[in-house]
């Protein structure tokens, strides 16, 4: 290899390093996932792909996180957002989180992640009905009272979704765990 080629290669490597570090991209998916959470250790316990994005559930000895991983060109990885799955109340049967950011299209790119503690729950229904006034009793009533109704299948105790939502639909979410007979086992914000 000529001296000019070596200098050019070194220049490209140094330039690549300075571009990767501040942007949050890494060559390794695992490294990107490890860097995104404050707790040391941990491992991937669930993942689901959504195009060039992937929702990863990362469990550490202390906490469980949902991470939205972006992959570019199949080789560069970075975590766009990470959020802890947690109950709202101590006796909740669902650990949950959601996170959203406004994109260029004025839509919210939204991540939902849920871990069920009740093995009978097969579906999670996310809606925005006014649960605080008077809770709906049936799934049909929930769908009628909501402008948003998302059904997520539970797989290996987890249900995840990465989607775009209009600004009018963002927030005020109600999470319901539903069993295989369609019975609501849990409801909470």
Digit-coded pLDDT (tens) for 131-150? 666 767 788 888 888 889 99
Q: How many whole angstroms separate alpha carbon 87 and alpha carbon 117?
A: 10
Residue with token string 């229904």 = 125
Digit-coded pLDDT (tens) for 152-186? 999 999 999 999 999 888 888 999 999 999 998 99
pLDDT of residue 94: 93
Digit-coded pLDDT (tens) for 25-58? 888 888 888 787 777 788 899 999 999 899 999 9
Backbone φ, ψ for residue 12 (5° rounding): -65, -40
47: left (phi over 0), alpha (psi -120 to 50) or beta: beta
8: left (phi over 0), alpha (psi -120 to 50) or beta: alpha
The residue that leads in pLDDT, 89 or 112, is: 112
pLDDT over 70 at 16, yes or no: no
Whole-structure pTM value: 0.83
* The token pair that represents 138 in the structure block: 């049936």
| Cα dihedral 46, 21, 72, 5 sign | negative
Torsion (CA) 121, 122, 128, 133 in degrees, nearest 10: -30
Structural domains for the chain: 1-84 (no CATH), 85-189 (2.60.40)
Cβ-based neighbours of 156, under 8 Å, separated by 6 or more: 45, 46
pLDDT band at 89 (very low <50, low <70, confident <90, very high): confident
Digit-coded pLDDT (tens) for 96-131? 999 999 999 999 999 999 999 999 999 999 998 876
pLDDT of residue 1: 61
pLDDT of residue 151: 95
pLDDT over 60 at 84, yes or no: yes
């Amino acid at each position: 290899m000529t001296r000019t080629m070596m200098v050019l290669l070194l220049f490209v490597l140094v330039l690549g390093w300075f571009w990767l570090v501040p942007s949050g991209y890494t060559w390794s998916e695992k490294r990107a996932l490890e860097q995104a959470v404050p707790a040391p250790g941990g491992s991937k316990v669930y993942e689901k792909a959504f195009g060039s994005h992937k929702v990863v559930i990362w469990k550490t000895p202390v906490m469980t996180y949902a991470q939205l991983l972006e992959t570019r060109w199949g080789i560069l990885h970075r975590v766009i957002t990470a959020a802890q799955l947690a109950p709202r109340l101590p006796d909740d049967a669902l650990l949950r989180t959601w996170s959203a950011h406004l994109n260029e299209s004025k839509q919210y790119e939204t991540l939902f992640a849920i871990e069920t503690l009740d093995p009978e729950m097969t579906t999670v229904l996310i809606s925005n009905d006014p649960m605080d006034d008077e809770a709906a009793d049936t799934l049909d009533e929930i769908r009628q009272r909501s402008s948003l109704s998302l059904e997520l299948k539970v797989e290996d105790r987890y249900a995840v979704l990465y989607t775009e939502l209009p600004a009018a639909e963002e927030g005020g979410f109600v999470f319901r765990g539903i069993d295989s007979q369609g019975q609501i086992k849990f409801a909470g914000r």
